[in-house]
Amino acid sequence: MTLRIAVTAEPIPSHLSALDYLIGPAREQGHEVTLHAPLMFRREARRRGIAYRRAGTDWTCEPGVQETASEIWRRHGNWAFNRHVFGRLWPGHAEAKTRALLTAWRRDRPDLVIAECSDPGAHLAARILRLPLLAADNGLGPLLRDLWDTDIAPALNPLHKQYEQDAPALPPMLTPAPVPWFHATPPPAAHPVRRTVAAHRTVLPAWLDRAPSARPLVYASLGTLTTAMPGLRTTVEAVYREIIAALTALDCDAIVSAGDLATHLAGDDPRITVVAHVPQPALLHRADLFVTHGGRASLLDAVQGATPVLGMGVLADQPANTAAFARHGLGRALPLAAPRAEIADAMTALLGDSRYTDAMTAARTELSGLPPLDLTRLPEPC
């Protein structure tokens, strides 16, 4: 039976890639997939061969939103940032998303909704229309659970009452990784499924698809969100400079993916190539070490490439993710303020110890052994 599946995404650049583990299998199984998301994702929907309908706004790109969130992060730390962004801003934008989705889904009712776990507007719209819902863990699942009772649910209560719905509840989640990897206390309702990535992200460009040198290859990226937020650019650029300085002290080749900062970071060392973007999953099958901000999708890309990580978490779930991977022996974690000498020492240790690669290879086997997504067994309507 062909299903009409509505997928929703919130306005963070990497979040559609975080849903590929559901979008890809749904398309391969012959279902009709429509992405309901802000305008920033229209091109990405086309690249994946799925329909697009606009829902919500690119509110995370508004200068005032970014400046306030960045200032909270700088002054008060990551926990205060998380409470502001996910406990206040996200619920505050849920009403507009709910209205847009109710209009769309009453006109063209889907058989199934697949929504990010951090998309309360989509959860509520599915609940109002009694549609089956799968909540997709995009990496924020543990963070949302921590904030749910104290911040998120109280902020959503008035909106739920407006639509005469029961108290808000975080729905059971699908997750593209073994649950204990990221959840210190495994939740009772998280179901792991096999991870896939979009086809266009698995192909190396011609300039990268060449015979490797005898030197190890280090790949460094601090993610898309950190370089897109003007209030974080100075901090993130300084971290990139420390990473690049550390790389110059090593006998290695390196590729640094730095988004809009790339033009500011290019140097004279021919062994270090600074670019705006690369197809990360493909590159991590070539790299020997990944210096990363520790986003969920990036860490899973590293596992699928069996590439050890040096984690330097920036915000949201990232510091906790890098700490978890270090505990599992899949790499090391450093604070964002680590100096170049400390970064170089950690890189040297990771490149010189095969135990990290062996641990990553074992993790890749565990990841690939997860069950495939089964869309023939739909959840009960909300």
pLDDT of residue 225: 76
Sequence-separated contacts (24+) of 101-104 with Cβ below 8 Å = 101/6, 101/8, 101/36, 101/55, 101/125, 101/126, 102/128, 102/129, 104/6, 104/36, 104/53, 104/55
Q: What is the pLDDT of residues 204-225, one digit of tens each?
A: 888 877 767 789 999 999 987 7
- What is the mean predicted confidence (pLDDT) over 112-130? 95
pLDDT of residue 71: 93
At 232, the pLDDT band (50, 70, 90 cuts) reads: confident
Which domains does the chain show, CATH number per domain? Answer: 4-192 (3.40.50.2000), 203-351 (3.40.50.2000)
pLDDT of residue 209: 73
Helix H or strand E segment including 46: helix 42-47
pLDDT of residue 320: 94
pLDDT of residue 207: 80
Report CA 274 to chain centroid distance, whole Å: 22
Mean pLDDT score of the chain, rounded to an integer?
A: 92
Q: What is the pLDDT of residues 254-267, one digit of tens each?
A: 999 998 898 889 88
Residue whose tokens read 């543990």 = 142
Percent of the chain with pLDDT over 70: 99
- What is the mean predicted confidence (pLDDT) over 226-249? 90
At 189, the pLDDT band (50, 70, 90 cuts) reads: confident
Q: How far is CA 235 from CA 45, 51, 70, 73, 179, in A?
A: 32, 38, 10, 11, 32
Q: What is the pLDDT of residues 125-174, one digit of tens each?
A: 999 999 999 999 988 999 999 999 999 999 999 999 999 999 999 888 89
